[in-house]
């Protein structure tokens, strides 16, 4: 952390990247870090780049920058274990690259890396970074809102494994900065009638195999319910926690691939995700298929993981 702070002090221009199809934690880490740097070093130019998220767009707006901004700039990539998932490949144009992440390492990219899988969210890492150097750094309400939102979304509102005493202490620190928890909860809880209808579709069309339950989100389904890809992907939690099915997944069809949100409340699944071009946490990972014809093989591999898990119990 000290080396990262030294690098931030060294550069006049800092560009913060996240991952493709960003979630609340990615946005929270990006905009929280931007706020810390801008508030602490107002003479520096700090940009957040990458894809937009409608779900947490209230946190901040992405910057549009030209390639020449990367000349003699520091690139910081947050919440991204796999290089090909980094949103905006221009990060490599920076003079140096810093990686800050809480996922199980897949690609050891970056000139300087801070990776700690004990943190349940990358936003918590950034909040901890501020806390450790609070005598040198500043954080305003906007940054606190971003970090709190990131922590809340990636911990399932403090329900998931990895939440610790430190998580709540840092959340309390952000609340002391003025975060209105009711405001954020309302922002995250609002749903359209289309989303409610899509929930009905998920509950009526999930598929079960031996210990595995999944739902396919094809393009026609997404178009029928008039939802975004981000909204469709958020449905993964609906089929979790069903007795007898320790692994579940949502598979969403994109033009050139099928992205899988893979979850577990039993066996570890990150190594399985690695086999299918992904990775993440031991119990929450992402993977991808080149086409639906690969689905039977994927299902078999999941069933093997579940079977071995049950045999070890």
Whether residue 151 is found in the same domain as residue 74? yes
* DSSP E strand boundaries for the chain: 13-17, 45-48, 74-78, 96-101, 112-115, 207-208, 212-217, 247-253, 258-264, 279-280, 284-289
Q: Which of 154, 188, 222 is the last residue of a domain?
A: 188
Whether residue 111 is found in the same domain as residue 51? yes
The pLDDT tens digits of the residues spanning 156-196 come to 899 887 899 999 999 999 999 999 999 999 999 888 999 99
Whether residue 172 is found in the same domain as residue 211? no
Q: Three-class SS of residue 66?
A: coil
Whether residue 147 is found in the same domain as residue 40? yes
Structural contact between residues 33 and 76, judged by C-beta atoms closer than 8 angstroms: yes
Which pLDDT does position 219 carry in this prediction? 96
Structural contact between residues 19 and 132, judged by C-beta atoms closer than 8 angstroms: no
Instruction: Tell me: pLDDT of 201 over 90.
Output: yes
* Cα–Cα distance for residue pair 184/219, rounded to 1 Å: 31
Whether residue 200 is found in the same domain as residue 119? no
What confidence tier does 307 reach under pLDDT thresholds 50, 70, 90?
A: very high
What confidence tier does 61 reach under pLDDT thresholds 50, 70, 90?
A: very high
Which pLDDT does position 89 carry in this prediction? 96
Structural contact between residues 57 and 26, judged by C-beta atoms closer than 8 angstroms: no
Q: Enter the tokens of residue 135.
A: 């005598």
Whether residue 271 is found in the same domain as residue 149? no
Whether residue 249 is found in the same domain as residue 153? no
Distance of CA 71 to the CA centre of its chain: 28
Q: Enter the tokens of residue 20.
A: 């493709």
For range 289-298, the mean pLDDT = 96
The pLDDT tens digits of the residues spanning 204-232 come to 999 999 999 999 999 999 999 999 998 99
Whether residue 10 is found in the same domain as residue 153? yes
Which pLDDT does position 189 carry in this prediction? 87
Whether residue 114 is found in the same domain as residue 213? no
The pLDDT tens digits of the residues spanning 95-115 come to 999 999 999 888 889 999 999
* Cα–Cα distance for residue pair 17/14, rounded to 1 Å: 10
Domain with 295, as residue range(s), is 193-312
Q: What is the CATH number of the domain that holds 74?
A: 3.90.1640.10
Whether residue 164 is found in the same domain as residue 19? yes
The pLDDT tens digits of the residues spanning 233-292 come to 999 999 999 999 999 999 999 989 999 999 999 999 999 999 999 988 889 999 999 999
Q: What is the CA radius of gyration of the chain?
A: 20
What confidence tier does 293 reach under pLDDT thresholds 50, 70, 90?
A: very high
Whether residue 167 is found in the same domain as residue 246? no
Q: What is the CATH number of the domain that holds 238?
A: 3.10.310.30
Q: How far is CA 181 from CA 145, 146, 170, 188, 266, in A?
A: 9, 12, 14, 11, 31
Whether residue 138 is found in the same domain as residue 228? no
Q: Which of 135, 155, 188 is the last residue of a domain?
A: 188
Number of separate domains in the chain: 2
Q: Which of 157, 188, 219 is the last residue of a domain?
A: 188
SS (H, E, C) 198-224: HHHHHHHHCEECCCEEEEEECHHHHHH
């Amino acid at each position: 952390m000290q080396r990262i702070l030294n690098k931030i002090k060294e550069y006049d221009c800092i560009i913060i990247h996240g991952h493709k199809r960003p979630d609340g934690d990615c946005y929270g880490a990006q905009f929280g870090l931007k706020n810390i740097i801008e508030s602490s070093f107002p003479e520096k130019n700090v940009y957040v780049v990458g894809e937009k998220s409608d779900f947490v767009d209230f946190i901040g707006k992405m910057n549009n920058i030209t390639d020449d901004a990367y000349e003699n700039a520091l690139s910081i990539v947050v919440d991204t274990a796999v290089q090909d998932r980094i949103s905006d490949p221009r990060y490599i144009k920076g003079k140096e690259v810093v990686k800050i992440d809480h996922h199980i390492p897949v690609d050891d990219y970056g000139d300087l890396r801070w990776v700690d899988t004990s943190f349940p969210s990358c936003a918590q890492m950034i909040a901890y970074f501020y806390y450790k150097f609070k005598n040198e750094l500043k954080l305003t309400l906007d940054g606190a809102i971003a970090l709190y939102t990131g922590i809340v979304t990636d911990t399932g509102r403090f329900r998931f494994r990895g939440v610790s005493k430190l998580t709540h202490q840092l959340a309390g620190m952000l609340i002391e900065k003025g975060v209105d928890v009711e405001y954020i909860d309302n922002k995250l809880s609002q749903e359209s009638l289309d989303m409610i209808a899509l929930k009905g579709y998920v509950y009526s069309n999930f598929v079960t195999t031996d210990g595995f339950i999944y739902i396919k989100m094809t393009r026609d389904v997404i178009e029928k319910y008039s939802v975004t890809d981000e909204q469709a992907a958020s449905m993964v939690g609906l089929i979790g926690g069903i007795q007898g099915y320790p692994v579940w997944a949502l598979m969403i069809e994109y033009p050139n691939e099928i992205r899988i949100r893979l979850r577990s409340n039993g066996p570890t699944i990150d190594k399985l995700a690695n086999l299918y071009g992904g990775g993440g946490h031991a119990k929450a990972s992402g993977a991808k298929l080149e086409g639906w014809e690969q689905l039977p093989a994927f299902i078999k591999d999941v069933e093997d993981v579940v079977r071995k898990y049950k045999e070890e119990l």
